[in-house]
Amino acid sequence: MASTALLRRVLALPPPLRRSVYSSANSHNGAREPDIYDVVCIGGGPVGLSFVSALRSHPSTRLLRVALIDSQDLSTSRTTDDTETYSNRCSSLTPASLRFLNQIGAWEKVKRDRAQPYHAMDVWDGVSGSKIHFDSVDQQQTGLLDAVAEMIPGSRFQASRRKYEMEDAVVATMCENSNTTSALLQRLHDLSAEQLGTQSELKMLDKTRVDSIDLGSEPKDEMLLDLSQWAIVSTSHGQLAARLLVGADGANSPVRRFADIPSPGWDYNQHGVVATLHVDRQLTVEDLRTAYQRFLPTGPVALLPLPGNKASLVWSTTPQHAAKLKTLSSTDFIAAINAAFRLMPVDIGYMLSSTSSTNPTDELAWRGTATPASSTGLPRNFPRVEAVQEGSIASFPLRMRHASTYTGHRIALIGDAAHTIHPLAGQGLNLGLADAQSLAHQIAYGVDHGMDVGSCWTLDGYNNDRWAKNNAVIGVVDKLSKIYGVSSGPVVWGRSVGVEVLERLGGLKGWVMGAAAGMK
C-alpha cells in the first residue's frame, strides 16, 4: 500500500525530477556508477566549442546532457583589447564558416574590430613569376558569352566596376583563434544562464586532464546498467559515461587512439613559421584588403591582413631555414621576410643557409635593386614589412593526416583529430567548423527521429557528408604543395601555363573560389 502511494507520488513529479529520483535510487547499490551523459566532447578548441554551441542553440538538441572536457583553463582565453598586439595564431574564416558561427549566435560576440575581412588574393609563383588574382568579381554568375568577352584584353574594366556594387565582396576573414574561442565561450555562458540548475546544464570541465578512456566493465547481474559498449572517460573529476564520445582533441587525439581508427598520412619535412608583422601602410576599415601568397620551392609564404597596419605571416619552409629564422635579430628577420617576397629563390636560400656569413639586411639592399619586380611577379600594391611584434615568432611542424573513418560505435571525430592539412590554403579550421556543423546537424536529425545519437544510424550520415569532401580538399592541397615544391624543369612550365590560363577564365576561377569558400 505504502509503496504504491510512494510510486504514484514519484510518477506525479515533473519529468526531470522523476528521472533524477530514479537514477539516484539506482546508484545506491554497488560502486560509484559513472555519470551518464548524452554527448561528451573532449577538446575545448574552436571546433569543440562550436560543436557544443551548435548543440545548445538548436531546439532539438538543446536539452541533451552535454559535457565538455579540456585540459586548458577555458575562462582565461579572452583576447586583449590592445589594438597594437595581435596573437600569432590567426585563422582565415571562409564565408561558410562565418554563416555557421552566425547561426549558432557566436559571431556577434566576436570583437569585430580585431577581425579583418579581406576582398582579394594575389598568388604568384616564386620561380616563374606567373600570377593569379582572386577577386569577388569572379564569383558573380555570368553567362558563357560574358566569359568569352572577358578574354578580350582590356574588357575587364566593366567587370571590375561590378565589384564595388556587390553587397558582400569578402573572400574570407582573418580572426585570431583566441577571439573566436572567447566568443564561443561567451555564447555558451549566455546559453547556460537560461538552463542553470537543470539536468541539461552544460558540464564544463576545464583544467581537467583525461586520465584514460575505456569501455565500461561487464555488469555483475542483469538488473544493472550494461555500459560495456560505452566509452567511460576517467578524469580527476570522476568518471563520465558517454552515449556519444566526440573527439575534438587535436592531431594526437586520445579518442581516435581509443577507437583504434588509423590515421594514415605523411610529414611534410617543413615547419610553418608564424609571426605578427607591421607593414608600412596604415589602412582603415573602409579600405579593400588583399591577402598575398608566394610559392617558393621550399614552401609557400603568405602575408594575411589584420586591422590597421598589422599583418599575419605564415611561412612554410625547411626545418633548417625555420631554425635560422628564429635565431635572427628583428631587423634581419624583417629583411628575410621582405626578401622572401621580393628576391629570387637562390638569394633567399643563400640568406638563410647556415654557412652564409653575410648580413641579411645588406643582402636585401643589394639584391633588391638587382631584382626587378616584373621578373618575380611581385604585385604592384605589395607593402613593405617594417617591424615584427615582440615574441610573436613561432614555428610548428607540418604534416598531413586523414583518419580512415570519422565515426565508430559511439565515437565521432571532428576537427584536427580527424584530419591535418597543409596550411597553404587556409582550410584547416574551416574544415573543422564544417565538421562540427555537420555532426550537430546529424545529431539533431537523430534526436528528431528518436534515434540513439551514438548509434551508426545517426553517425553514418556525418561520415558520408564530410569524409569525401575533406579527402578531396586535403588531396588537392597536398598535390599543390608537391607541384610547387619543384624548382625547375617541365613541371614549372606546366604549372605556370595552368596558372596563366586559369587567370583568364573568370568562370572557372569563380568555381575554384566557391569550392575554397565552402559553398555547398
Partner 1 sequence: MNKSASLRTFRHLLALPQPLRQRTFSILNRPPPNYPGHVPLTLAERGALAVGSAFGSLRNPHRHDLIAALGEATAKPYFISRLRTAMLANPTGRRILRDRPRITSQTMSLEKLRQLPESTVGRAYAAWLDREGVTPDTRDQVRYIDDPEEAYVMQRYRETHDFTHAITGLPVIIEGELAVKAFEFANTLLPMTALSLVAVVRLKAAERKRFFETYLPWAVGNGLKAEEVINVYWEEELETDVEVLRARLGIEIPPDLREIRKTLRDKNKAAKAARDARERLGAATGV
Binding site residues, partner 1, CB under 8 A = 152-155, 344, 346-347, 349-350, 366, 370, 372, 375
Least spacing, CB of residue 512 vs partner 1, in Å: 25
Q: How far is the CB of 322 from partner 1 (least distance, A)?
A: 21
- Distance from CA of residue 91 to its chain's centroid? 7
Closer by beta carbon to partner 1, 332 or else 347: 347
CB of 153 to partner 1, least distance (A): 4
Instruction: Specify the residue, 252 or 356, whose C-beta has the smaller distance to partner 1.
Output: 356
Q: Which is nearer to partner 1, 396 or 493 (CB)?
A: 493
Give every CB contact of residue 290 below 8 A, 6+ residues apart in sequence.
118, 119, 120, 121, 122, 305, 379, 381
Q: How far is the CB of 346 from partner 1 (least distance, A)?
A: 5
Nearer Cβ to partner 1 (366/396): 366
Minimal distance in Å, beta carbon 134 to partner 1? 21
Q: State the number of CA atoms in the 13 A half-sphere of 295 facing the CB.
A: 26
User: Both ends of the chain: CA-CA distance in Å?
Assistant: 62
Q: Residue 388's beta-bridge partner residues?
A: 277
Q: In this complex, which beta carbon is closest to partner 1, that of residue 26 or of residue 158?
A: 158
d(CA 202, CA 61): 12
Instruction: Using the minimum distance from each CB to partner 1, give the nearer residue, 155 or 282.
Output: 155
Residue closer to partner 1 by CB (options 360, 383) is 360
Which of 94, 112, 103 minimizes the C-alpha distance to 56? Answer: 103
Q: In the bound complex, what is the minimum distance in angstroms from residue 490's beta carbon to partner 1?
A: 12
Nearer to partner 1, 14 or 372 (CB): 372
User: Least CB distance from residue 488 to partner 1, whole Å?
Assistant: 9
Residue 488: all three cell numbers together: 625547375
Q: Which is nearer to partner 1, 348 or 434 (CB)?
A: 348
473 SS3 class: helix
Q: For residue 31, what is its C-alpha cell?
A: 560502486
Cβ of residue 496: shortest distance to partner 1, in angstroms? 12
Cβ proximity to partner 1: between 372 and 450 the closer is 372
Please give the full DSSP string across 208-230, using - where no structure is assigned. Answer: --EEEEEEPPPPSSTTS---TTS
Measured N-to-C along each axis, helices 2-12 and 15-26 cross at an angle, to the nearest 10 degrees, of 130
Q: What is the DSSP string of 356-393?
A: --S-HHHHHHHHHHHS-HHHHT--TTPPPEEEE-TT--
Helix spans in 353-489 (H): 360-370, 373-376, 428-448, 456-483
The minimum distance between CB 504 and partner 1, in angstroms, equals 13
CB 262 within 8 A of CB 401: no
Where on the phi/psi map is residue 299: left (φ > 0), alpha (ψ -120 to 50), or beta?
Answer: left
CA–CA gap between residue 152 and residue 85 (Å, rounded): 46
Whole-angstrom Cα distance, residue 88 to residue 391? 9
Cα–Cα distance for residue pair 159/137, rounded to 1 Å: 7
Q: Which is nearer to partner 1, 12 or 152 (CB)?
A: 152
Q: Cβ of residue 300: shortest distance to partner 1, in angstroms?
A: 21
Least distance (Å) between residue 325 CB and partner 1: 20
List the one residue out of 132, 143, 135 whose CA is nearest residue 161: 135
The beta-strand segments (E) located in 49-126 are: 66-69, 90-93, 116-118, 120-125
Q: Give the whole-angstrom CA distance, residue 37 versus residue 484.
A: 48
Query: What's the closest the beta carbon of residue 509 comes to partner 1, in angstroms?
Result: 19
Calculate the alpha carbon distances from 270 to 82, 92, 156, 218 in Å: 32, 21, 39, 47
Residue with cell 566596376: 161
> For partner 1, which is the closer residue by CB, 320 or 375?
375
Beta strands, E only, 51-137: 66-69, 90-93, 116-118, 120-125, 131-135
Least Å distance, CB 259 to partner 1, is: 50
If the CB atoms of residues 98 and 352 are measured against partner 1, the closer one turns out to be 352
